[in-house]
């Protein structure tokens, strides 16, 4: 497509980005063709060059969420680690980095799920996939299946609680709690060098006693 047509019609990514922003700002009801067209300063009809209808746009939003949040969550559970503590700290990257796991996007999809049984079912499927990935992480480090399942659920629903409640918590305080979180979830106290690698990735300086 030439640049002139891009200006007139936009692109699929432009429409999807606008839909994403609308979802975050106003929920799924804000993701409607005419308001998005006005926001993009494009004609309503240009939308149909890229999407059959609003439902196809919403489906694309769901695909983006699944690829980013569920895909990256699973990838972090599978990342190389020498110990279960290091493996858990790899997953903790999802807690603090929206480029890996977008908490606002997650909250918006969960809010949408409260209004739609279909989306709730999709959300439940992804929750199950993420928990299964965490369970596999623990089993990789020789936890018994039942213990692996329960520890995975405790770790996962703790993060889900943060997404849902959006606590007003100072980042330095949250970071200082990391060693205890790791120990609660794994039953093992993380070593200094494991914590140092995690804090270094997050650009946080921590005074070790």
The whole-angstrom separation of Cα 87 and Cα 78 is 8
Whose tokens are 């709690």? That residue is: 177
The whole-angstrom separation of Cα 101 and Cα 51 is: 26
Distance CA 142, CA 19 (A): 44
Cα distance between residue 152 and residue 14, in whole Å: 37
Residue 152 and residue 137 in contact, taking contact as beta carbons nearer than 8 Å: yes
pLDDT value of residue 170: 86
Contact 207, 179 (CB under 8 A): no
Look at residue 13 in the predicted model and tell me its pLDDT: 94
Q: How far apart are CA 33 and CA 70, in angstroms?
A: 27
Tell me the helices (H) and strands (E) count for the chain, helix number first. Answer: 12, 0
| Residue 1 pLDDT exceeds 70 | no
Let me know: does 11 contact 50? Beta carbons within 8 Å. yes
147-157: average pLDDT: 97
Beta-strand runs (E) in the chain = none
User: Average pLDDT, whole number, for the chain?
Assistant: 92
The pLDDT of residue 78 is 98
Summarised one tens digit per residue, pLDDT across range 188-198 is 999 999 999 99
Q: How far apart are CA 170 and CA 41, in angstroms?
A: 39
Question: pLDDT value at position 5?
Answer: 44
Q: Domain locations in the chain?
A: 1-51, 62-201
Q: What is the pLDDT of residues 69-102, one digit of tens each?
A: 999 999 999 999 999 999 999 999 999 999 999 9
Class of domain 1-51: mainly alpha
Q: Would you state the pLDDT for residue 208?
A: 60
pLDDT > 70 in the chain, percent: 94
Q: Quote the pTM value.
A: 0.90
Looking at the predicted structure, is the pLDDT value of residue 207 above 80?
A: no
Query: Tens digit of pLDDT for each residue in 37-77?
Result: 999 999 899 999 999 999 999 999 999 999 999 999 999 99
């Amino acid at each position: 497509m030439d640049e002139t047509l891009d200006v007139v019609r936009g692109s699929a990514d432009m429409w999807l980005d606008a839909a994403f922003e609308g979802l975050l700002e106003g929920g799924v009801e804000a993701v409607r063709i005419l308001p998005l067209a006005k926001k993009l300063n494009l004609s309503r009809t240009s939308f149909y060059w890229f999407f059959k209808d609003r439902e196809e746009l919403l489906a694309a939003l769901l695909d983006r969420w699944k690829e980013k949040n569920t895909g990256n969550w699973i990838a972090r559970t599978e990342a190389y680690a020498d110990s279960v503590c290091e493996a858990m700290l790899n997953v903790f990257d999802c807690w603090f980095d929206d480029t890996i796991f977008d908490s606002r996007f997650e909250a918006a999809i969960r809010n949408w799920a409260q209004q739609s049984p279909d989306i709730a079912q999709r959300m439940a499927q992804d929750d199950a996939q993420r928990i299964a990935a965490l369970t596999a992480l623990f089993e990789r480090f020789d936890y018994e299946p039942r213990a692996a399942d329960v520890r995975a659920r405790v770790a996962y629903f703790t993060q889900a609680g943060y997404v849902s409640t959006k606590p007003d918590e100072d980042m330095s305080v949250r970071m200082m709690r990391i060693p205890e979180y790791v120990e609660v979830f794994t039953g093992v106290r993380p070593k200094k060098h494991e914590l140092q690698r995690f804090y270094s990735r997050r650009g946080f300086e921590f005074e070790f006693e």
